[in-house]
Structures are given as C-alpha cells and as structure tokens.
Amino acid sequence: MAHQQLYLGIDCGTQGTKALILDAHSGQVLGQGAAEHSLISGANGRREQDTRQWLDAFALATRRALQAANVDGQGIRGIAVSGQQHGLVLLDHQGQVLRPAKLWCDTESTPQNDRLLALLGGEKGSLERLGVVIAPGYTLSKLLWTRDHHPQVFARIAHILLPHDYLNYWLTGRCCSEYGDASGTGYFDVRTRQWDTQLLREIDPSGRLEAALPELVGADQPVGTIRPDIAALLGVNPQARVASGGGDNMMGAIGTGNIQPGAITMSLGSSGTVYAYADQPRVSFDGSVATFCSSSGGWLPLICTMNLTNATGAIRELFELDLDRFNELVAQAPIGAEGVSLLPFFNGERVPALPHATGSLHGLTLDNLTQANLCRAAVEGTTFGLRYGLDLLRQNGLQSRSICLIGGGSKSPVWRQIVADIMNTPVICTEQSEAAALGAAIQAAWCVSLADGAAVSLKVLCERCVQLDLSSETLPVAANVAAYEPLYKRYRQHVATL
C-alpha cells in the first residue's frame, strides 16, 4: 500500500458534485462519491445556483468517495476541480459571494449579449477579436446584465470568478483562472491566451472590472496548498496541493485521453458536445465551433448541441417508458424509422445555429405512427445534430480516427451503434463514466509530479489511468452507413428550410 499515489478529482456540475479517488501509481479508481445541487429557475430563462450548495456538496461527495475507497484522506497528495463552464461568481473585497451564480444555461442575458455582439461587429468581429463567437451563456453578457439589473451589486464587485475558479479560491484563498475555462468567458483571446481587458472597459470605463480579474495560470501549474481549515473539513492531507483544474469539457478531454490529434470525445448528456484536440489555435470560420484552449496545453475545438438526452427523455416521459423499454423500442424500429423524422429543437438550438427553432415531426402517416418509430426518430434526430457538429470540426481540418463516447446515452448499445453508423467511425466508451472527475484527478497527478521535480508526462498518466471498455467497442456497419446518408441529407434539407 505504501506506494499508492492518491489524488482527488472533483466535478462540480449543474445537477451535482462528483468526487473520485485515483491511485495514479496503479491507474485504478478506488472510490467515488456524489451529492446533489438544486437550480434556481425563473422567468426569462433564469438559471442560477447558490454557491453554498457547491461547498456543501464538495465536502459531502469527498467524504463519501474516501469512505467508498476505504483510504485515509491524509494520503491525498493533490486535488483538482472540474467545473461547469461560463458561470459567473462575484465576490466583494471580503471574499463574500454577492449573489447567486448565473449559470451556462441561463439565457436571461440574451439582450445584453446581442448588444455586445453588435459592439464587436457581429459573429465575424467576435471571431477575429477573441477566436470565439460570444453567446448568451458566456460570462461576458452576465456582467453587463448585472450592471443593468443589480447596480448596487455591480458597484461592490472585487473578484470575477468562474465556478471552478471559485472552488479553487475556497480551497486555497487564491483567485486565479486557467486558460481552458477562461476561454468561455467572452473576454479572453484564445489565440494569445490573454484577457481582453479593453472589452471590459466597454462595460465599465473605470477599469474596476479588469482589476477584479483573476490571474491566469497554465494547466500544469498548481494554484497552491489547501487551507488547513478546509483540509480538516474534507478530511484530507493539509499538505495536499490544488492543481489548476479547468472547465468540465477540458477535464473530460483529459479523462478520455483526448490529448493528441485524431481523438474525438462525444458526450451524450442532457446537451451534446463533440470536441477534438489541436496543437494550434486554428479558429474555424464557422462561429458554431468554439476553439477553446484545452487544459492540457493545446486547444479544444468544440461544438455543443442543446438537445440530446433531454429530447429523448421527453419522448420517454410522453410514453411513460423506462430506459430499457425505450431502448428496446428504438432497436425494434428500422433505420430511418419508416420515414418518421424528428427535428429535436425543443430548446432552440446552437448547432445547427437555430436559436429560435422549435421541435417538429415530419413524414408521419397512419402506417408509421408508432411508439417505436417515434423513439427511434428521437435518437436519430439528436445524433444527426452531433454529426452536423462533427462535420464542422472535420471541415476545420480535424481528423476523427475514433470516437470516445461518454455521458448517460453512451450506456445504450443501440445508441452506440447508431452513432458509429451515422458518423462512419468506430466508437468506444471509457470504463470510467465520470470522465471529468477522472480528468481532474489525472491533472492533479500531473501538476504535483511537475511541482515535485519528478515530472510524469500527461500522456503517460492518461495511458495508465484512462481505461477503455473493450466490450463497448462498436464498429460502423457498411450497409447501415449507406442507409443513413440519404436520411442525413434529408435532415440537412429540413434544417436549411428553417
């Protein structure tokens, strides 16, 4: 047991916090824990969270993970945090949180985003200046929204943090931000890896906002040592170092070994994401591709679709089906669902770029209107959206030799086959479904090894700690690939008419 190297990976998401204990020596995950958060929802698309819940969940999930791993927390050498991207956490000069955190899925600041996009000269201007097109979910518009709606809060801002930055601050007392997560703020240039302070002066000419920005650190740099009182609360070693951490997509990339060209990670969660690795910031001419920095020293071109398991879940609820029965029905229906197609744009859509679209069903007849066909059409329709995104990445010169599938939908063999066939690419899952928490633990091991002067490369750590589930490997079937091509063309024609 003496040569165990224990690291704690934390993933603070929208629905809850996950904690994972990794032995970086053997590459084994020893135990996991979880705790839930609730959402503050309101009119106009308000989606906020009480940051206190994150701290409570962090402590509870960590204690549960240590218990499940049956290890002494004093053996934890390092910690890293993966956080939901884009969220806004505001602190005053005493380090107190000023109001609930506004989240990535909050659309209340859409009017502010429109104003800022116009200021930047539209999508083209935003891409030229920042390397990304700002969207309502990004942090920038939330700052302008705060100025417009809560001027008294705005006047007290001393620190502007992202969710993962805030958790690092709680752990160490230091305000800093890592390039990957900073890429989603809307006031960061992904090419030069610098804050765009001039853009913040447009919101507040006094320069107060730029003074409130955290210091930028590289992905391989520790933030500091854990504060003694927090170490005691969590039951971990007070010498444990806190790594830079990063956004959930960046950590998911590390947790699936997606740190070199050719790899694609596809997440089938409530929303869908597809991302690759690039060693240069080749910014796409298409604003739907976000060329974020990675948390492994490169870049992470990414697309996000707003409708995935939330869309298939809506059909399941409509028919009161459990997951197994839903999958059975999907498998019963033939490819193309006998002509039924579903455009699953229930939440509007980001990719394809149709923010005001709604969902629609096409091709219904009295003969093909069955539960099985509707279930199949939901899975095919959402997967076509991911293919649309993958095509954008491919047009940007990215190779896709294999796809690593994560997220709830990846557990379904029938869905894995549909993904492999529609993408015409082999698909495999990782053994560890909590890819972001695992990625955080791996990054912590990388940071600590560098700080100790016994550097282990991230590549070696990923090879040791990211285990592929060989039983999940799914290859495209040539006949199916051929059958999907005209169906995907039809999907693109439907999209074009919208």
170 in any annotated domain: yes
List Cβ neighbours of 130 (8 Å cut-off, separation of 6 or more): 120, 186, 187, 188, 189, 190, 196
Mean pLDDT within 227-245: 98
Mean pLDDT within 211-239: 97
Tokens representing residue 320 in the block: 């009161």
298 in any annotated domain: no
73 in any annotated domain: yes
| Lowest-confidence region among 87-91, 103-107, 229-233, 341-345 | 103-107
Mean pLDDT within 389-409: 91
Q: What was the pLDDT predicted at 433?
A: 87
The 3-state DSSP composition of the chain as helix, strand, coil percent (nearest 5) reads: 40, 25, 35
270 in any annotated domain: no
314 in any annotated domain: no
Could you count the other beta carbons within 10 Å of the beta carbon of residue 339? 16
End-to-end CA distance of the chain: 60
Pairing of strands 159-161, 101-102: unpaired
Let me know if 52 is exposed, middle or buried by CB neighbors in 10 A (0-12, 13-18, 19+).
exposed
Q: What was the pLDDT predicted at 2?
A: 53
CA distances in angstroms from 287 to 112, 123, 124, listed in the order given: 19, 6, 8
Residue 1 has pLDDT above 60, yes or no: no
Pairing of strands 241-243, 46-49: unpaired
174 in any annotated domain: yes
Q: What was the pLDDT predicted at 169?
A: 98
| Cα–Cα distance measured from residue 169 to residue 139, given in angstroms and rounded to the nearest whole number | 18
**pTM (two decimals):** 0.93
Q: Which residues are catalytic?
A: 248
Tokens representing residue 208 in the block: 């107060």
| Lowest-confidence region among 139-143, 260-264, 323-327 | 260-264
Q: Which helix (H) or strand (E) holds 389?
A: helix 371-395
Cβ proximity of 414 and 327 under 8 Å: yes
Q: For the chain, what percent of residues have pLDDT higher than 70?
A: 100
Based on the structure, what is the number of domains in the chain? Answer: 1
336 in any annotated domain: no
Backbone angle region of 445, left / alpha / beta, with phi > 0 → left and psi within -120 to 50 → alpha: alpha
Tokens representing residue 369 in the block: 């209107």
- Helix H, strand E, coil C: the string for 72-85 is CHHHEEEEEEEECC
273 in any annotated domain: no
| Lowest-confidence region among 72-81, 259-268, 277-286 | 277-286
Domain that holds residue 220: 6-247
CATH of the domain at 223: 3.30.420.40
